Every structure is written in C-alpha cells, then in structure tokens.
Chains A and B, each alone.
Chain A
C-alpha cells in the first residue's frame, strides 16, 4: 500500500522569507501523481501544486515550487516570499490508481 509521510508537524516562517515543507512517500509504481494541498481555517482543501512522476522538471506555481526526487521518493514544497495568507495546514498527497492518499499534514504559521 502507498503511504505518505510528512515529518514536520509544525513549522513557522517570517513573512517574506522562504520555507520548505518535506514529504516522502512509498510506492512500487512508476507512473503516479503527487500533490500539495493547502487547508486554511476555512477547512476547504485547495490544490497548491501538482507533479507528474514521469516529468523530470519540477512543477512551479508562482511562489510555490517543488523539489521532486523520484529515486529518493521525496517531494518537498518550497514557498518563497511567504505571506500571512499562507498560514494553513499543508498536506502532501499521492495517487496512482484509486483514491488520493494524504499525509498527516504540516501546520505552517507565517509570522509578521
């Protein structure tokens, strides 16, 4: 079974600084997708970024980028120029065939 591990339960960063959230996963499959979701206090899961495993190029979305290391099964999220609105729970998720599998999340606090 696929598993997703987020080893940082909580992190904090100063406004305008850069922070990296870690994620590792376990799978024997070759073609799959990885995601980072943001869950603010409103509770709605918001897709931040998506990475296809068959693409070597790391995905980027404005201030958000990933470092995808397929051999190491690592998928970290970098947030540049952190903003107060980035304060939220961040979940790493994996899908191959079947449902999305989530990690336990990292609570990120952006401090003014």
Chain B
C-alpha cells in the first residue's frame, strides 16, 4: 500500500451531470497529480497541485477543475460530463524533492458516464 487513498472506488453518472472525486495524499507529500486512464491506454496528465496552487495542466478542457486543501488532500471536479469522460481517474502524490520525484498512486476511481 502506498498510503494514497481515493474515493469513491466506482461511480456511475449520466451525461451532463457533475462529479467530484477525492484523494488523500501520502503523509508528508505536498504535491498531488491527477491522471485520466481510458480503457486500453496509458494515463494522461490532467493537472498538478503544489501547496494548494495549480502547478501545471495537461490538454483537458476547463470543465476539469481541481482543489488542494491545507492538509494536501485534493479533489477533481468534472462538470457537464460527456460519454468520453468514462475512465479510471488516478491520483498520485509526491514530494517536491526535485526532478525524478517518485509518484505514489492510489487505486483510482472508475467513472462510468451513461
């Protein structure tokens, strides 16, 4: 176990709805990254938060937004859900100790959009 926990583990939503996914970082980690993993693909970077500020963003529309809290836990919010948003959403925490920082992943939230 990595100490990174995500909730819920599974979620079913309908198109147009909004969803919030949650992630608790490993103790001592101040950086959280979110990834989307579509079926049969590698994870794609959504965004990263460092000390409550967004610190990089991938090629995802603004309806994907996030928050990081003072205890370094994090949320991923997706508005106006589309069918293509169905995927495994992975959270990873790390320390900002420089290049090549090791990421510790949670087990993900499987989102299905109907």
Contact = CB atoms under 8 A, between A and B. Distances in A.
A44 interface: yes
Interface residues of B, number: 24
Nearest to A45: B105
B99 interface: yes
B103 interface: yes
> From DSSP, what is the main secondary structure of chain B's interface residues?
loop
A102 B88 contact: no
Contacts of A100: 33, 43, 45, 92, 103
16 contacts: A32-B99, A33-B99, A33-B100, A42-B107, A43-B107, A43-B108, A44-B2, A44-B105, A44-B107, A44-B108, A52-B100, A91-B42, A93-B42, A98-B45, A99-B56, A103-B42
Interface of A: 4, 31-33, 37, 42-47, 50, 52, 91, 93, 95-105
